[in-house]
A and B are shown apart, each in its own frame.
Chain A
Amino acid sequence: MTVTSMKGTAGQIVSSILVTALLVGSLVAVLEIEDQRALGICVAIIAGLSFLAPKLGILRGAEQAGAHHPWAVRLIILIGFCSLVLILKDNNFALLMIATILIYATVCLGITIQTGYAGLFNFAGAAFLGTGGYTAAMLANATWLPDIVTILLGGVIAAALGTVLILPVLRTRGHYAALTTLAFGVLFNGFLEANEMLGGPQGLKVPGIQIFGWDFSNDLVIGSLSFSFYANYVLLIGAIFALFMIFTRFIERSWIGIWLDAVRLDEIAVSVFGLRISVWKSFAFTAGNFLAGVMGAVYAKMTEFIAPANFTFGDSLLLVAIVLLGGIGNRWGVLVATMIVILLPEKLQFIQEYRLLLFACIIILLLMVRPAGLLARRVRVFEERH
């Protein structure tokens, strides 16, 4: 009531602060509370608040703030993110979880561009993540390339591999592209396990990141504050994720965004107006896999070890499930869904054994109650600022 009555800029800014606080608070609470019963109550409270937020118009307000005052909102998010790292500063497990969430969310952003915008289903998200990871491992072990180049190359190789996969099926309609990714997602694991050069089932060791003498494997010390070494990675991954969020937003709010949506909705009608379907399909696929590959490289460097078991077909399916759960084509929905899917089974131990069953139930429930996902995608409205 209080927030809905606040019209205009102030209401929007307050709304976005509240939403950010809710997200940061939930993360801190879920990550820090150990007692299972307290945790259960906490999750219930968060669910209740999340249910209440849209009713009070807070979500709508935050959304409008994002449209009208994007830099103010970005600042609020930055402050929220920094305080999150500050609060969790020496909690290794919590920071690792945050990093994992952001890595998965980035891959899902890529899938959002592919599936949500261009309508290409990608059942090999984990395989492209793995491609980036193995690229980083091989480059780090065989060359002296700087880590920034290695990370970028992880993205480039994943994107290139994806392009090679999809080019032959570009001129077909229907779900051939989806089947190709499905086959790749299944084969990737087997290929890695059988390949001696890539370490086989045992995997490969990867050195951590060093950028301009900043060694990510050491604890991060700022002034008198000392952070776990994971804080290095969380900051880097957070920055990359923010960059890709803006990238995805810019794609959506541009002519290209309209072309991609049109490719998904009606290939025939729009080709008649001169749109080159295959160009935009391959663009979306390449861009999405680039995001996955970059994060794969960072992931390998962070864990300092990769093995085929990290990139199974099941992981790829999980990524698709996150996108469906979050809301196809909604970037923030993807982030929220990743938090739920990654954190809940990790923290609520009794879930772990039943996690597949639970996911199935959540997805079915969701498709019944909110068929468009947790946060539905909005109709694109270009701001006509004068």
Chain B
Amino acid sequence: MSAGSKNESPLIASGLSVKFGGLLALNELSIEVRRGEVLGLIGPNGSGKTTFFNVISGIYAASAGQVLLDGRDITTLRPHQIAAHGLARTFQRSRLCLSLSVFDNLMLGAVRRLNSGLWYNLVRRDRLAADVRSAAKEARDLLAIFNPDLAGKLWQPAISLGMIDRRRLEICRALIGRPKIVLLDEPSAGMTHDETNQLMNEILEVRRNLGNLTVVMVEHEMGLIERATDRCVVLNYGKKICEGKYADVAADPLVREAYLGKS
């Protein structure tokens, strides 16, 4: 990798708009994510945070604007193509395949690495078995960073896990494909305060182990945002109203107004 591309921002959204009928969910939003940072994305309900994630990952099409991932234009690509360029995400509402095992769910995150060839899967069963073994080891190692117990539940259905383990599994699923950038959509949703804190410590530790992976995080819990993020972007009505360190952002009168209303 050349020095130039190393400093380049891995994700740049410029002038991004999304219309749902008459509603402008994103309004000429421009966000630049810097390499190796944790960027917090905050704003009141309905301000466009999740919509932003959905556009970046290709689930919604942008009405206007451009998204660059590592300098490549991904605005019109389909989700699986965007994934191939190294973007992974979690979902606000748990989207695990609950009837499948923990292992199966994890492997979905590694789709791009695993061999989907017919000959390999149906005839070269010996090679498949060897790959399953090494994948299971890798899966256990990754899960163990979050929770050693979870690593022992590799062959249990995801539905048997508690809320916090499900969230851990979703985050592991996003990480196991070795993405360049990860979007975390409200990792604290549905969990208690203590669980959230614990999970966030784990996320930050894993991130350091992965060479300061770039993370964009939507979160409502401001304590987390303060502790975990390097920078924040505040959205309201699909527009960026403020950007900077959490302490500065939190003191901004526009942000206070967006959250608390006009005094």
Using a CB–CB cutoff of 8 Å, the interface residues on chain A facing chain B are: 247, 250-251, 254-256, 258-259, 261-262, 265-266, 268-277, 379-386
Contacts and interface: CB of A to CB of B under 8 A. Distances in A.
B182 to A, nearest CB: 12
Nearest to B107: A258
Contacts of B96: 269
A379 B157 contact: yes
Interface string B126-169: 00110011001000000000000000000111000000000000
Contacts of A265: 97-100
B122 interface: yes
A270 B122 contact: no
A247 B107 CA distance: 22
A256 B121 contact: yes
Interface string B7-23: 00000000000000000
Contacts of A254: 121-122, 128
Contacts of A277: 80
B222 interface: no
B95 A266 contact: yes
Contact of A269 (B91, B99, B110, B132): B91
A-B complex: 9 closest residue pairs judged by Cβ atoms: A274-B83, A269-B95, A254-B121, A271-B79, A265-B97, A274-B112, A381-B155, A382-B132, A274-B111
Given A273-B83, A382-B103, 17 more contacts: A247-B122, A251-B121, A254-B122, A255-B107, A261-B100, A261-B104, A265-B100, A268-B95, A269-B95, A270-B111, A273-B88, A273-B173, A274-B79, A274-B177, A379-B157, A381-B101, A382-B155
Interface in B67-96: 78-80, 82-84, 88-89, 91, 95-96
Interface in B177-211: 177
Nearest to B87: A272
Contacts of B115: 255
A277 B108 CA distance: 12
A39 B220 CA distance: 68
Contacts, number: 108
23 contacts: A254-B122, A255-B114, A255-B115, A255-B116, A255-B128, A258-B100, A265-B100, A268-B59, A268-B95, A269-B97, A270-B108, A271-B58, A271-B78, A271-B83, A272-B89, A273-B80, A273-B88, A274-B79, A275-B80, A379-B155, A380-B104, A382-B155, A384-B133
A274 B80 contact: yes
A386 B132 CA distance: 11
B122 A250 contact: yes
A261 B129 CA distance: 19
B79 A261 contact: no
Contacts of B104: 258, 261-262, 380
Contacts of B118: 256
Contact of A276 (B80, B91, B109, B133): B80
A274 B176 CA distance: 13
Contacts of A271: 58-59, 78-80, 83
Interface of B: 57-59, 78-80, 82-84, 88-89, 91, 95-101, 103-104, 107-112, 114-116, 118, 121-122, 125, 128-129, 132-133, 136, 155-157, 173, 177
A274 B84 contact: yes
B155 A256 contact: no
Most buried by B among A254, A259, A268: A254
A384 B135 CA distance: 11
A272 B122 contact: no
B101 A259 contact: no
A379 B57 contact: no
Nearest to B115: A255
A77 B95 CA distance: 40
B136 A382 contact: yes
Contact of A273 (B109, B122, B132, B155): B109
Nearest to A275: B111
Contacts of A251: 121-122
A265 B101 CA distance: 13
A248 B82 CA distance: 31
Contact of B177 (A255, A273, A385): A273
Given A273-B83, A274-B84, A380 B101 contact: yes
A236 to B, nearest CB: 22
Contact of B121 (A255, A385, A386): A255
A247 to B, nearest CB: 7
Contacts of A274: 79-80, 83-84, 111-112, 177
A275 B110 CA distance: 10
Contacts of A380: 100-101, 104
Nearest to A265: B97
B116 A256 contact: yes
B83 A272 contact: yes
Contacts of A250: 121-122, 125
A244 to B, nearest CB: 12
A262 B99 CA distance: 10
Nearest to B113: A274
Most buried by B among A266, A271, A383: A271
A269 B95 CA distance: 6
Contacts of B98: 265
